[in-house]
Structure 1
Amino acid sequence: MAKAVVDDKEHGEPIPYDPDFNGPLRKRSCTDVLCLAVFICFIAAWAGIGLYAIQNGDPSLLLVPRDSAGRRCGRDVLHKPYLFFHDLTRCLSPTTPFTGCPTPQVCVSACPTEAYVDTATSQRPNQFLDYCVNSNSDLICPNWILPSTAFLYRCLYNVADRRKLRNLKISRIDGDEISLAKQFLDPVRLLLNLGVEGSITVFTKDENVLQTGQNIVEDVIRSWWKIIIGVLLALVICLIYIVILRWLAALMVWISIFGVLVGLGAGLYFSVVKYIETRDAYTKVLNDQTRYEDEREYESSHFKTKRDLWLAGLIIISVVLGIILLVLIFLRKRIYLAIALIKEGSKAVSSVTASLCFPIVPWILQICVIGYAIIVGVYLASTGKPLYKTRHVDENCTKEITIPDDVKCDPDLWITLMKNSSIAAACVNASCRFIGTNDVLYPYLQAYNIFGFLWLAFFVTALGQMVLAGIFAQWYWTFNKTQIPFFAVTSAFFRTLRYHIGTLAFGSLIIAICRIIRIILEYLDHKLKQYDNEFTRAIMCLLKCFFYCLEKFLRFLNKNAYIMCAIHGKNFCISAKNAFMLLLRNIVRVWVLDKVTDFLFFLSKLMLTLGVGAVSYVFFVSGLLPTSIIDNSGLNYGIVPVVIIMICTYLISTLFFSVYTMAVDTLFLCFLEDCERNDGSPEKPYYMSKNLMNIFGKKNKID
């Protein structure tokens, strides 16, 4: 057994015995008052910015759509309040919020109610020209029009309107008449097939990948309610597991270990079987010359995708299983110690059951911070006086209104002028366009808002960590564990708010600064794409890697600093130093014992994920259940909802295990301090449980 290194002077003196020490309940005072004052002033200024934005901003300006010429529908273009997109699917690109939708857009008086496809033999309806755009004297018209519904004055495709598409017949160039619904199977697939490359081609232009992406989106849309039911069941299963872990921690951990090994082994075997099956099916279809070429190509592509998916699953499962086996083999002796620490964490959590519900408070606060930052950001974007300039004012128009091109203009005066028929005829392409706002403070206020969001978000996370640390530290340093007060969570929460807001603000400020530097680096990396070369890529990669690692280290240091602050009530710097030195004096236990508990928690989360995934597979993929119970015939890949449910299960289990993780980290730090502070004599008895004393060879010499 590796013992704590307590005689290393380079890492500080061991913590001395203090007869008056009684854990977090000792008398304390406010910490990091200067940072608290800065934090309060910052919040007050942020609130002032929010008040200024709400008073001077008008979010409705942001909601008014603008056409390809920059004219606002319903304001600059009279009697046409709605915006029509020629190819709405091109707006699916992830860069659309920053670069705009790369498709022609035109203001219309009403959204289309009929479907129409423009072909060589089709006859354009009279109202078709309303959807065309004038560009440099050229008329650009949409290739197809679908029934749309107005949402925020934008014409969006109505997925629920199926009948009109089923009845629509279009003429192809070869003279054959086909049904649009038959051609594209259903409205959802129609939307995707007509332009899903707007989002997927950002990453690839491979046709097989595009088709796979289309099918996956279809599966999500068709099975969304089944996915929600699966996620709710996963939530219930995680709750049951957490409850059982309170009383049978060791058993549940061993079940998790063997369950993961058995599950991964079964998954590996099943992946091999399915890979061979789909590989043979792909080869058979590819060599089947009795089928039509289009049919053979479609089915071969389908089986090829499935074959590649099973091969990827086989490789991933093999790698994960190999890593887990190696870790279990080399750290098998440490697992018993880690399980003992998890038992202690389970005892602490079961003694203060309300700690499981406490994370709801930080979640609610996080939602409030996110909501406030978004509201302020939206209002700030619409502050300042609107700036309008004339556009496309030619010589004929200038003769009529004596206003040159590219000068400031009054939109109300412009509307009045355009009511004159002669002026309107001469200025058919001219407009008084909304350019933006002239608020010079906007970039700085928005930057302040972003930094405020980061600081407050990390502050809320720190608050949750310190409160949980105070709860479990109080449990550890109570000699008689049955004397834990009923309102331990409440007392820890108000103790943190009363004394240590400054410490939380200090620690979260450091993380926020590191994060804002990473954001700036990402922005610079995006801007330097035009000067892309090996040198700039190497520099940016090194910088991003350095600050990523720095943030990870600071998060680790901050969490332990919060634990020490919750125990001793010292300021951030002293707490961080004491925690770091204590961990350095016990570095073997830190990296061999504490990290093993994290690994065991990971196995528990993995077992829950695999278990829920196995049940989901039976429902969605196996075909063992009759269609009267669940019908999955409309899914292209039944594995898609299974994967989504598994991802949600892992996230849910991570949220629940965050309490256990904080409990184990707190108890581990308390255990290290207990070993240095006490020696088991009647004057200095150990506070650790008998189970821990037996495992670590400790004993209280009390008659």
Structure 2
Amino acid sequence: MKGNQIYPSAPPQELYYAARPPPYSWSPSPPPAQTIPTRPPLETSYKEGEEYEEVQPEPQKIARFRVRPDKKRKRHNPQLYTKRGCTDVFCCFLFLLFTAGWVVVAAIGVMWGDPERLLTPTDSFGRRCGTMRPNSYNYTTRPYLLYFDITKCISYATALGGCQTSQVCVEKCPSEYFSYLQLQSVSPAEFQSKVYSNLYCADNVDKSTITSFPVLRQLVQSKQCISYTVNSAPVLGRCIPQAIIGAADKVNDLQKTNISLDVLRNMFGDDGGMIPQDYQIKGSQVVVGAVVDGETSVLTKMVHDLSKSWWQVLTLIISAGVLAFVWTVIMRLLGSLMIWTSILVLMLGLLGGCGYSWLKWNALVKQGAVDDFSFQPMFSVYFEMPTTWLVVAIILSVMALIFVFILLFVRKQISIAVALIEESSRAIGNMMSTLLFPLFPFALHILVFALWGTITIWVSSSGQENCRRVPYPGALVTNTSSRCDCALSYQDTTCVFVTITKDEDIVFWLQVYNLFAFFWMTCFVAALGDIALAGAFASHYWALDKSKDLPSFPVLRALGRAIRYNMGSLAFGSLIIAIIKIIRVLLEYFEEKFGKSENAIIKNIFLALKCCFWCMEVFFRFLTKNAYIMMAIYGRGFFTSAKDSFFLLSRNIRRTVVVNQVAGLLLFIGKAMITIGMGVVAFFFFSGQWVVEGIPRVDLYYYFVPIVIVVIGSYFIADLFFDVYEMAVDTTFICFLEDSEQNDGSAEKPFFMSRRLQEILGKSNDSTVHPK
């Protein structure tokens, strides 16, 4: 709106004198005359001693003035500002400046990077496996890349600074388990044989010079030769440990041979951690199950299955979306029944288990059964002892007793939670656009992820080619060799490619900046989606007449207000979450980079720090989400909104806990039912056990592939729908708390809550004003 005109979220002009809290929506047509109290004269509507600013209205336009807050009651009685302004402007400029810095990082990556270096397997010197470069190297017979220690490749250190281990191009991947410690006590002939057949070293290492174990150990410790090998298979040009989990025949073969890294460690030692354990290898596999089967790989068969079943998969995922929508309608109609039924089932389960345990204990005591809690090979034996059932009975009895007391004390809060859920369903039903809005932030999330991934690839592949001049073709490069332009190395036989050089520290901090930008952007997009939905649902709650006072396009209006006035506050809130996230990543990075310390104190410090920052992230997510809701209602800055929402919920802590738990239970039931249901349908259909007339049967190599995709897609779609529902419940709850604290049901301060909520609280409006 322009000038000082009242913002669309303001209430009908006639209600300024009937209620102090924010009705939040504006209708061009006033409510019926009989429902609006008579407007008192202007001079008698203000308290004596208070200052007010009044602007004369333009002809045939609504009056423009500002309702100022009562400073003494501001903390516990926030009032509506009809005129909004930009909040946290500094954070908005900081966000834009940081985004410009992200563009600079991307430009540096494009300037110095080459994604081909990552897409094509490349050794530690930047030479591409399976290719050749005239006058420099010929790796056409060495197409596979071997990592000296693959356990260092799957960690945060890899994401930020690359794979922290040496890499060489090889003709074929290792086919057996080997540790260099096996060679410390073998004959010279066997030593040389094993060196040539099992040992992999950098190209500058001449294996003929490795004549003793001390020489070999020095090369291993200097990272010039590999310390161990495992049975591997080529995957995308990389040698990856063979998949042993999920392949029964391979597990049996390994058990028969009894050969593994753990066996080698027990036989020959690990030389101070140079040889990893089997669980570290299993935890570092990038691709599991990539085993060649004839001429067709598993991956190829999976792609074939998806190409044949894609439309059935898409149909089932769309069906999950329809079911999620239907579930929201069911929660509106049967939410109360579902909640109380769940509580009743849980109560009956506790009482039934309690009674059965006491009866079982009594029967065993009468039979003269004895207790013997020494080690028993069969676990079921413990359930033939009376003490076991006594412990179970006591635990269930205590749980049932606690549950009964909880029901007695929070029965009213549960009724409020059910009513709020039904009111949220009503809001969604009146504003169906809220169910489609999540597609907008989802598209932005995909865009941010694509930008981050692209920049990560370019920055990771950055580096400068280093070429040296040699006196004649085939001569070795020495420290005194002069530099030459690598562009000439393809024609000039004396200009030889040596390696790719880059500043690892610069690359690391560029990746940290890029990752932090990713966190900040994703949190900002999520915040933008939250405040848009919160504004829409708040406009529904604060509309006295839901059929007339709702603004048109409520989600778009709320989104527009957020972009115009609250960009800085959204950037501020998302910045807090992003900082915590990057700290957690750096903790993982330094723990991985410097190795798992054997010092118990250091281990506990890292564990405590990670736990602490995880708790901080959970808390600030909760705080910022409620701050966005208050921001959508009042348009205040982040600190004020966070403070008001925090103290509002603190003053109503019992209601807050109950509503969150009840709503969470109901939403969990919905997600689980939809995901499990679609998974069962997909299983029976793709396995051929359920034949639908008119739909041809799909013959697949692995029917679990489309089933997994259907389950993941169904959960994702259900999560999108229920995230909207969760925001509706949270917004309605905060509006309800504001309404119940600020109003008393009088003509001057009417309640905006539904009549059922008024009945639960034992309150009601005067006959002059009734919310609809």
State the TM-score, normalized to the length of structure 1. 0.66
1:567-621 deviations in Å (ceiling 9; x for gaps)? 0111000110111111111111111223321222112222223333443454578
Which of 16, 19, 34 is the matching residue for 2:90? 34
Give the conservation status (yes or no) of the 8 Å contact 1:398–1:404. no
User: 1 CA distance for matches of 2:602 and 2:231?
Assistant: 44
Do structure 1's residue 354 and structure 2's residue 439 form an aligned pair? Answer: no
Give the conservation status (yes or no) of the 8 Å contact 1:260–1:606. no
Name 2:22's counterpart in structure 1: none
Which of 109, 114, 126 is the matching residue for 1:53? 109
User: How far did 1:216 drift?
Assistant: 12
User: What code does the residue aligned with 1:75 have?
Assistant: R
Alpha-carbon distance change, 63 to 87 in structure 1, aligned in 2, over 3 angstroms:
closer
User: How far did 1:348 drift?
Assistant: 0.8
Residue 592 of structure 1 aligns to a residue in which SS?
helix
Give the conservation status (yes or no) of the 8 Å contact 1:382–1:437. no
Do structure 1's residue 658 and structure 2's residue 716 form an aligned pair? Answer: no
Residue 531 of structure 1 aligns to a residue in which SS?
coil
1:416-450 deviations in Å (ceiling 9; x for gaps)? 67589xxxxxxxxxx74213235874443332222
Which of 492, 502, 517 is the matching residue for 2:568? 502
User: How far did 1:60 drift?
Assistant: 3.6
Name 1:105's counterpart in structure 2: 169
Name 2:193's counterpart in structure 1: none
Do structure 1's residue 245 and structure 2's residue 324 form an aligned pair? Answer: no
1:489-521 deviations in Å (ceiling 9; x for gaps)? 111111100000000000011111111111111
1:520-563 deviations in Å (ceiling 9; x for gaps)? 11112113425322111111110100010011000100001111
Alpha-carbon distance change, 366 to 257 in structure 1, aligned in 2, over 3 angstroms:
farther
Alpha-carbon distance change, 246 to 107 in structure 1, aligned in 2, over 3 angstroms:
same
Task: Trace 1:500-649 onto structure 2 (pairs within 5 A).
Answer: 500-529=566-595, 531-616=597-682, 618-619=684-685, 625=690, 645-649=710-714
User: How far did 1:87 drift?
Assistant: 7.9
Name 2:446's counterpart in structure 1: 367
Give the conservation status (yes or no) of the 8 Å contact 1:67–1:105. yes
Name 1:685's counterpart in structure 2: 750
User: 2 CA distance for matches of 1:12 and 1:503?
Assistant: 24
Give the conservation status (yes or no) of the 8 Å contact 2:335–2:421. no
Name 2:457's counterpart in structure 1: 378
Residue 500 of structure 2 aligns to a residue in which SS?
strand
Name 2:77's counterpart in structure 1: 16
Q: How big is the alpha-carbon RMSD for the aligned residues of Structure 1 and Structure 2?
A: 5.6
User: 2 CA distance for matches of 1:246 and 1:235?
Assistant: 17
User: What code does the residue aligned with 1:512 have?
Assistant: A
Give the conservation status (yes or no) of the 8 Å contact 2:146–2:239. no
Alpha-carbon distance change, 252 to 231 in structure 1, aligned in 2, over 3 angstroms:
farther
User: How far did 1:237 drift?
Assistant: 3.2
User: What code does the residue aligned with 2:611 have?
Assistant: C
User: How far did 1:203 drift?
Assistant: 6.2
Which of 502, 524, 535 is the matching residue for 1:437? 502
1:165-192 deviations in Å (ceiling 9; x for gaps)? xxxxxxxxxxxxxxxxxxx9999x99xx
User: 2 CA distance for matches of 1:401 and 1:522?
Assistant: 45
User: 2 CA distance for matches of 1:260 and 1:614?
Assistant: 26
Alpha-carbon distance change, 206 to 559 in structure 1, aligned in 2, over 3 angstroms:
closer
1:331-357 deviations in Å (ceiling 9; x for gaps)? 663544322111111111111111111
Alpha-carbon distance change, 614 to 417 in structure 1, aligned in 2, over 3 angstroms:
closer
Which of 532, 543, 554 is the matching residue for 1:467? 532
> How many residue pairs get matched?
565
Give the conservation status (yes or no) of the 8 Å contact 2:327–2:670. no
Name 1:179's counterpart in structure 2: none
Alpha-carbon distance change, 143 to 37 in structure 1, aligned in 2, over 3 angstroms:
closer
Give the conservation status (yes or no) of the 8 Å contact 1:17–1:684. no
User: What code does the residue aligned with 1:682 have?
Assistant: A
User: What code does the residue aligned with 1:672 have?
Assistant: L
Name 1:43's counterpart in structure 2: 99
Task: Trace 1:213-228 onto structure 2 (pairs within 5 A).
Answer: 225=306
Alpha-carbon distance change, 106 to 373 in structure 1, aligned in 2, over 3 angstroms:
same
Name 1:491's counterpart in structure 2: 557
1:657-690 deviations in Å (ceiling 9; x for gaps)? 0000001000000000001111001111100111
User: How far did 1:697 drift?
Assistant: 1.9
1:227-270 deviations in Å (ceiling 9; x for gaps)? 8645752541342342352365242664588699999x99xxxx
User: How far did 1:471 drift?
Assistant: 0.6
Name 1:446's counterpart in structure 2: 511
Residue 482 of structure 1 aligns to a residue in which SS?
coil
Give the conservation status (yes or no) of the 8 Å contact 1:216–1:640. no
Q: Give me the identity figure in percent.
A: 34
Task: Trace 1:247-396 onto structure 2 (pairs within 5 A).
Answer: 249-251=332-334, 254=337, 333=411, 334-383=413-462, 385-388=464-467
User: What code does the residue aligned with 2:608 have?
Assistant: L
Do structure 1's residue 675 and structure 2's residue 740 form an aligned pair? Answer: yes
User: What code does the residue aligned with 1:40 have?
Assistant: L
Residue 688 of structure 1 aligns to a residue in which SS?
coil
User: 2 CA distance for matches of 1:56 and 1:478?
Assistant: 57
Name 1:74's counterpart in structure 2: 132
User: What code does the residue aligned with 1:574 have?
Assistant: T
Alpha-carbon distance change, 542 to 254 in structure 1, aligned in 2, over 3 angstroms:
same
Alpha-carbon distance change, 550 to 611 in structure 1, aligned in 2, over 3 angstroms:
same
Name 2:478's counterpart in structure 1: 404
User: 2 CA distance for matches of 1:476 and 1:536?
Assistant: 52
Give the conservation status (yes or no) of the 8 Å contact 2:114–2:458. yes
Residue 748 of structure 2 aligns to a residue in which SS?
coil
User: 2 CA distance for matches of 1:617 and 1:539?
Assistant: 46
Give the conservation status (yes or no) of the 8 Å contact 2:465–2:497. no
Q: Which runs of 5+ in 2 are unaligned?
A: 1-71, 177-199, 211-224, 241-246, 262-275, 350-391
Name 2:279's counterpart in structure 1: 204
Do structure 1's residue 136 and structure 2's residue 210 form an aligned pair? Answer: no
Give the conservation status (yes or no) of the 8 Å contact 2:292–2:298. yes
User: How far did 1:106 drift?
Assistant: 3.9
Residue 71 of structure 1 aligns to a residue in which SS?
coil
State the TM-score, normalized to the length of structure 2. 0.60
User: What code does the residue aligned with 2:320 have?
Assistant: I
User: 2 CA distance for matches of 1:677 and 1:185?
Assistant: 66
Which stretch of the first structure deviates more once superposed, 450-459 or 553-562? 450-459
User: 1 CA distance for matches of 2:483 and 2:99?
Assistant: 39
